[in-house]
Every structure is written in C-alpha cells, then in structure tokens.
Structure 1
C-alpha cells in the first residue's frame, strides 16, 4: 500500500510534468484562460486576444470539449504560449474532444498561411490534444495549420485537410503522436526543420503526394524527418495501392527522410516523384529512407533517392539543445 508521502510525491511530480501517460486534462491548469461552455470565453480567439503581447512569461489557454467554428491566429507574443485541449487521455490524439474547424482556401483569395484554420505566427508555442480541420476539401490549397515560428511543438494534435493540410514553414518544429491527413502535398513548407515522431499519416482518395518540401538552397535549414510513424489509407477511404508517393520537390534542394516507419501498400514502388515531367526539380534533392517496413517500403526506388546507412538523429534536425523546448515525454 502506498504511503501518504509516496502519493503526495507522485502527485507533485504529475503536476510538474507536461504529460502523464493516459492522464486526463478535463479542467483548466492553474493560471490558464479558459474557453468553452461554462467557462470565461466563448471563442478561442477571444481568449487569445486577452493574452499579454508584452509579457515574456509563459501564458496558457485551456479549451473545453466542443467544436469551435473559427479561424485562430497566434501573433505578436513575446513569451511562451501553450494551448491545451480537453481530453481524458493526454498520451495521443485518439482521446481529443476539442475541434477547431474552418473552410477558407486560396480559391477565396487567401494565401496559404492566410487560409489556415490555426495560424501559429510566433515561436515558443506548444499545442496539446486539439483537432484542427480545414473542411474546404478538393479544388484548392486549404491549410489546417500554418506553423511559422521557431521552437514550436504539437503533441497529440490531429490535422485534417485535403490539399496543403500542414504548412510546416519556418524554424525548428516537432510533431509527436499526431495524426496528419490529406491528399496532395499535405506536409509542406520552405524553411522549417521538422521532426515527426510516432505519428499516423493518413491519405485519402484522390491524391498522390505526402510531402512537398520547399528547400531552395544548400544553406536552407529545412529538413523533414518522419520517424517511427505509420503511413496508410485513412479510415473509410478506398485508396488504390501504389497511388501515393512519399514526396515530391517543391524546390530543387528538397530534403525529406522516412525512417523506422511502417509504410502500407498505398506507397508506390518508386517511393518518390519529380515535381512534374516538364519540371522535375530533382537535381539537388536529398530523399532518403532507413529501416522502413510494410508493403510500401519495398520496390525499385526513384534514382534520385537513397537508402541510408543509418537513421537521422533528432539533434541533427532540431539542434543539440532541443530538450530545452521539446516536450520529450512524447518522443519515442
């Protein structure tokens, strides 16, 4: 039987840590603004607008369960910011009860960033257990999340869209135990160094490409590494075997690695694709694979891709100081 001292010690440890596996977060953490039915703010943006733009101290918002039909923009903050979604299980996205949804697209005159349901325009942001959806569907670029800030982390977050779901665009970023769904170029961006860990990447019918990294020079730090993740058809979707590619180069120094991941038969035997037949953009790409399994991990890969001799380390992508800002309790 546990002693009172042991119980108190464990409780204190749990309160100090960002994540206890399968722990719940069904009420606002101390000091957080609260959003939703029965709480202070009715919309997420209203709570965001009440945060200090001058403070360098950490600020946080907790969101009660429900669906929020709005566009949320995080801009101009000088200190760290955390968004928490209501959940009975913080350890992954599967227990998420908060959804932010919007349906803006480039066809409406918006930029990629401007179309995003959640626009993260600053660094030092952590997002936990929230579903983010751009419901526009086929026909135009329509972003769920635009991540523009350095030292940004998404933990147990679900991203859903069709074309251009996740704009991982600037700075060092981490996506851990997340769900990412789309059809065309749905993990894309130009300058971000992004580490995807233990995440479920799901494709829908009607698309062809998972990543479209836009690294445009040898000095550009952009690097996408998908580590210990899964790639398969989304639930309920009939996706033709071999119809998807791991990536194509938005710019000709594109750099992406899939490693130690399970790739289903939706992945084409060539693995990777040129931008187009008339404009291949493959002369300086760095596309690699290591230790992947599943039906989609085999085949004669594209000549401009490589089989790596070892896995890429997280410090190679995010830098040696990543533990100072990444919630490592979510990492594999």
Structure 2
C-alpha cells in the first residue's frame, strides 16, 4: 500500500469516528444543537441560510413585539461588544451545547477587551457600562449556555477594571 493511501485511510477512519462520536454524545434531552422554530440564528461562519454572523446583527433584527423571541448562537467565539436595549417582550439567548447541565459544555463565547483605560476621560456617567461585553438594559432576558468574558488585561501590572 502506498504511504499516501494509508494516510488517507487513517484520516478517513478518524473522521468517521469523530462524526459518530459527535452524534452519540451530542444528542438527547440536554442537548441544544438546533434553533427553535422562528429563532433568529447567529453563526459566525455563515453556514446556515439566513443567519447573522454576529450577535449584534441578530439583536438589531429583533422585532418590536411583546411575544417571546429567541436568538440561537451556533458554536464559536464572537469578538464583539453588544448592548441590548429595553424590549417590548421577553428574549431568550440560547447558545449551542451538548449538555445544558454543565457550563463546561458551552460552545459559545462572547468576548471583547475593554477596560476603564479604554474609555475617553470626557465620558461621564456609567463608565462600567461602557466596558461591558454584554450590556443588558432589558429586564426580561434569559440566557442559556453562553460564556461571556471581558479579557481586558492588566494596567501597569495591576488588575484593570473590566465588566463582563
């Protein structure tokens, strides 16, 4: 057998095993791997028809309604700062996960790096709000299986102020 053919056979079997493992481990009552009907879909790769590439785009496409709306996020790291203003109705933010019972299985992260040092000095008022990764001004939001992080680093060797 040629070395290249052997390599292809090995890689092909690994791909088959991985696909089988995913289907076996990522199913059941605790998996959230597909959007609910009518959900706004966010997919950083754009692989799903009609999806938005950022959460901010998904939020900007929310309808002005008192009905509950859902934004479903496919796996990925979304590098953005998002503010959700007051809404007429409830909102559900649902991240892709194979197991809703463990945050360790979350496959969606929303992150950015902004600290107090990044806010212009002439900005007064709520400067913490200006550093937040996900600012929620609405009181009727439920979030499931999303990691939210502000990765603003140290300032002069000291911990900097940053709100996730």
Q: TM-score, normalised by structure 1?
A: 0.36
**Residue of structure 1 aligned with 2:106, choices 82, 86, 96:** 96
Compare relative contact order (CA 8 Å, sep 6+) and give the higher one, 1 or 2: 2
**Count of aligned pairs:** 123
Q: Contact conserved, 2:131 with 2:162, CA < 8 A, in 1?
A: yes
CA distance in 1, matches of 2:89, 2:102: 26
CA distance in 2, matches of 1:141, 1:22: 39
Unpaired segments ≥5 residues, structure 2? 1-27, 121-126
The structure carrying a bigger strand percent of its residues is 1
Q: What CA deviation, in whole Å up to 9, does each residue of 1:147-198 have, x standing for no partner? A: xxxxxxxxxxxxxxxxxxxxxxxxxxxxxxxxxxxxxxxxxxxxxxxxxxxx
Aligned to 1:34: 41
CA distance in 1, matches of 2:106, 2:29: 12
1:141 aligns with 2:152: no
Aligned to 2:131: 115
CA RMSD of aligned residues (A): 1.5
Q: Contact conserved, 1:22 with 1:91, CA < 8 A, in 2?
A: no
Aligned to 1:43: 54
Q: What CA deviation, in whole Å up to 9, does each residue of 1:109-152 have, x standing for no partner? A: 161011001111111100000111101022321111xxxxxxxx
CA distance in 2, matches of 1:117, 1:74: 11
- Specify whether residues 93 and 22 from structure 1 end up closer, same or farther in structure 2 by C-alpha distance, changes over 3 A only: farther
Cα distance, 1:22 vs. partner?
6.4
Question: Where in structure 2 are the equivalents of 1:247-266 lying within 5 Å?
Answer: none
1:74 aligns with 2:84: yes
Q: Contact conserved, 2:119 with 2:130, CA < 8 A, in 1?
A: no
Unpaired segments ≥5 residues, structure 1? 1-20, 145-332
Aligned to 1:270: none
1:129 aligns with 2:145: yes
Aligned partner of residue 112 in structure 1, secondary structure? helix
Q: TM-score, normalised by structure 2?
A: 0.71
The structure carrying a bigger helix percent of its residues is 2
- Specify whether residues 138 and 22 from structure 1 end up closer, same or farther in structure 2 by C-alpha distance, changes over 3 A only: farther
Cα distance, 1:92 vs. partner?
2.3
CA distance in 1, matches of 2:29, 2:100: 6
Aligned to 1:310: none
CA distance in 2, matches of 1:123, 1:80: 8
Cα distance, 1:76 vs. partner?
2.8
